[in-house]
Amino acid sequence: MTLPTDHPWHAAGTADSRLVRAMQARAVDRPPVWFMRQAGRSLPEYRKARQGIAMLDACLTPDLAAEITCQPVRRHGVDAAIFFSDIVVPIKCAGVDVEIKPGVGPVVAQPIRTAADVQRVPAPAPDMFDAVAAGVRATIAQLGQTPVIGFAGAPFTVASYLIEGGPSRDLPRTKAMMLRDPETFSALLSRLAELAAEFLRTQILAGASAIQLFDSWVGNIPARLYRTHVLPHSRRVFKSVADLGVPSIHFAVGANHLARDMASAGNDVQGVDFRIDLEEVDPQLRDTFPLQGNLDPAVLLSDRQTIEAEVQRVLAGGRGLPGHVFNLGHGVLPDTDPDLITFAVEAVDRYGKPFEGRPAR
């Protein structure tokens, strides 16, 4: 399947944007820059727009989601927008009783604990993600040649919320199900992979020019369990959207020990969190994959001199890669001064070097 002729990939030339070129290991005048959670609580205009509106309601109100998505592009001049969403939006659209409680995170009314419980999670259905598609279309109508990145939570992380009933750093019930009842665990991740794939396809067909699959909690498990119980489902997500031809990013938090396995999921770009310098990434990955990252978000809480030095350090670490997308090694922290985010973007523009491109993989 090819993208429609009115898609920004063709109509606005996003196929030739800095972001897409870097993700495809093509020549760029400098690395593109965007930040995870660039739209959100660090921006006063976001807080004003969201006032009195629940998070998931905001995600599913097309004009509001579009406005929030565009805010950091207007303010910071980043090279890409990431569509405003949340990891649990697909299951919310599917009818699961989930809400995001301030100061807590996603909370599920009826956790998934048995094989029968898995049947309560519906398969993708026509029109399930219509509000999301409308939000992406409203976004691209405002952004012109700036590409939009579609976003979805990876099956493992969404499963962890469903099984635990809410956020959990140790994931005791999730790990117990994975080990004690691998069939039920696999059935749940398989259903969540279907939802994630359809969620991403919806965003791509509505106008997204790249995608990111985000795994918040998978860093809590060892590589042997990841390969057996998790990787096949993430791989299924990437395979399900590969025919659309837009480049993809795979990112997880605290999962540098899984990097080589994650890079085998079918993604084009490997995200790197802030716990490892780019120069220290597995040499095989450095030689074969464009990397995304990886300024520590806490750096943006410091001062201009520190930010400038750290931006230059990360840029230096990205030189010699097949491609480099400058980003944070996790999301923008809520208390970050927006002016310092803009300063970091300007520093990338000042110090980023041209790259001639070379084949990846």
Residues forming the active site: 37, 41, 50, 86, 161
Tell me the C-alpha to C-alpha distance, in Å, between residue 46 and each of 51, 70, 138: 8, 10, 17
Question: Are residues 154 and 218 in contact, defined by beta-carbon separation less than 8 angstroms?
Answer: yes
Spatial separation of the C-alpha atoms in residues 248 and 243, rounded to whole Å: 12
The DSSP bridge pattern shows strands 98-101 and 210-215 to be unpaired
Torsion of CA 307, 312, 317, 322, to 10 degrees: 110
The DSSP bridge pattern shows strands 105-108 and 210-215 to be unpaired
Query: What is the widest separation between alpha-carbon atoms in the chain?
Result: 56
Please give the helix or strand (H or E) that residue 28 lies within, else none: strand 26-28
Question: Are residues 348 and 31 in contact, defined by beta-carbon separation less than 8 angstroms?
Answer: yes
Q: Report the DSSP beta bridge partners of residue 101.
A: 105
DSSP 46-115: HHHHHTT--HHHHHT-HHHHHHHHHHHHHHH--S-EE----TTHHHHHTT--EEEETTTEEEESS---SH
Overall residue count recorded for the chain in this entry: 361
Tokens of 38: 């660039």
